[in-house]
Amino acid sequence: MTSWSTGEQHTIEGVLAGRLEADPDGPFLDVVGTTLTAREVDTAAARLAAGLRELGVQPGDRVASLLDNGAAAVITLFAAGKLGAVSVPINTAYKGDFLHHQLADSGASAMIVQQDLADRVAAVSGTLDALRAVVVEADPAAGPAPAFPATVSADWATILREADPIAGPAPVRPADLATFIYTAGTTGPSKGCMLSHNYVVSLADQIARTWGRRSEDVLWTPLPMFHLNAVACAVVGTLLLGGRAAISRKFSVSQFWPEIARTGATIASLLGTLTALIAQDERDHPDAAGTTLRLVAAAPMPLDIAAAFKERWNVDTFSAGYGVTEASLISSLPAGAVNPPGAAGQPNDVEFDVRIFDDDDNEVAKGTVGEIVCRPRRPHVMFEGYWGRPEATLAVSRNWWFHTGDFGRIDDGFLYFVDRKKDYLRRRGENISSFEMEKIFFGHPDVVDVAVHAVPSPIGEDDLKVTAVLQPGATLTEEALCRWAAERVPYFAIPRYVEFRSELPRNPVGRVLKYQLRDEGATPATWDAEAADVRFEKR
């Protein structure tokens, strides 16, 4: 099989059908140690689709999932596609208001959840009018599944064992929606990016072209399937290119080289922070000697980290890329090519017209900093808008250009990323909505004003800081507020820094000056969870 970069449009079900025709029973996926062929995925997805249809799921309905990496996450994606439904994967760290928002906003009619997370769904399901059915992937060790108010519950294993596979998939076009991926909000709740079938296939193809991926490559990733990277690279990309891929449950420094050796991986898809942890591990692991690995792809990746992979293990790296959920890979550079310092590769002129605009949407001169904008050269290679938010969609599509809100420049054919959205947070590969975080902290009875903002991290991306104003006479401590938050927010959004002030800096119209707080960073008055050795489980 070869990369489909001819401009044709495709569906996820269509690329699975191509694999079924060419290699139905060859190794396809190793998902947390469970091996799957294309035929096995297809059959299980057809059974699950039949079960979901019996539960009332119709074409266009949203099927949400709360699943760690595993076979169930793969099967759910294809089952939704077979029904013409929309897959809505939700971060497994979400609970409470974070979980409720995405379920309510998407209007999911069905939910698939692993049993150890089912209590989170049960806690919010009674207030979700659209949610009619919950399918639980049972775990005998976890005890009985909870009750889900106002919904019908079903057992995953029973459906896959007893349901007759649907006779054929629903008619789905490349423009039809495949999935919602939620992006962090700054002035409002997180928004569901509507992504078409063709978008997902096109992204897989873009990445394969950039990495020089071949049919004989074996791709390994520990990235979660509730994000798009693992789906596009490990699942859809492998269907496009042939060969096989492996998906681990989660990342572990000590297990990185053993996993590469076990799977025979030639490409590893990671996050920049993970590559730093590997490169900074001074131990010489026996599985690293003579490794099959030829490429590690991650962004951002500092030059010294890339050099360490080449010098220690003779492994090439890819980190020259810039993209957003709404517009996939806006710029990149072929793996192994030389990227000027600070550049994010070359604009992707196959799928997009990429430019730099000023505040009035005039194109700026070469080398001048402005907002990165783009528009598609091919159909359905960008998002289809924000679900239920036409005003937000129009706002970023001003003058028929997609406005990223990020600032950069184009010089000598290279795109340079200069700065991100001022209130945007990204920590350990996860987008965080400052708006949603502040809503949580305003729920504490001792907090009267609060700002959630980024502090630069020494290992890349951001650390999170909460700057708050307390009620007069309150005795709340910074550590107590941090522990209170840990019960209500995803583990990756637990603040590292907390600082109490008498007031927050504001402009004349009352807007908090977050750029000032961000620039001040961790002040002498700031409490630091790491320095205090306060730790939390990743759940």
CA dihedral 290, 292, 294, 295 (to 10 degrees): -120
What topology is assigned to 38-163+174-196 in CATH? Rossmann fold (3.40.50)
* Alpha-carbon Rg for the chain in angstroms: 23
Q: What is the model's pTM? A: 0.81
Residues 198, 177 contacting (CB under 8 angstroms): no
Is 247:221 a contact under the CB 8 Å cutoff? yes
Distances from the Cα of 67 to the Cαs of 76, 117, 126, 244, 262, in angstroms?
10, 8, 20, 22, 24
What per-residue string of b and e applies to 195-220 under the rule 16 or more CB within 10 Å gives b? bbbbbbbbbbbbbbbbbbbeeebbbb
* Domain spans in the chain, listed from the N-terminal domain onward: 38-163+174-196, 324-421, 426-528
In this predicted model, what pLDDT tens digit does every residue of 324-367 receive, in sequence order?
899 989 999 887 777 788 788 999 999 999 999 998 999 999 99
What is the rounded CA–CA span in Å between residue 299 and residue 318?
Answer: 8
Q: What is the pLDDT along the chain (539 residues), one digit of tens a residue?
A: 444 555 689 999 999 999 999 999 999 999 999 999 999 999 999 999 999 999 999 999 999 999 999 999 999 999 999 999 999 999 998 999 889 999 999 999 999 999 999 999 999 999 999 999 999 998 877 778 888 988 899 999 999 999 999 988 889 999 999 999 998 655 567 899 999 999 999 999 999 999 999 999 999 999 999 999 999 999 999 999 999 999 999 999 999 999 999 999 999 999 877 888 898 888 889 999 999 999 999 877 777 888 899 999 999 998 878 888 999 899 998 877 777 887 889 999 999 999 999 989 999 999 998 899 999 999 999 999 999 999 999 999 999 999 998 888 999 999 988 766 555 577 766 777 776 788 789 889 899 888 998 887 776 668 899 999 998 899 999 999 999 999 998 888 899 999 999 988 875 445 677 778 888 989 999 999 999 998 887 76
The verdict on domain 324-421 having CATH code 2.30.38.10 is: yes
**216: its two tokens:** 């004989």
Q: Which CATH superfamily is domain 426-528 in?
A: ANL, C-terminal domain (3.30.300.30)
135/146 Cα distance (integer angstroms)? 12
Q: Is the backbone peptide bond immediately before 300 cis, with ω within 30 degrees of 0? A: yes
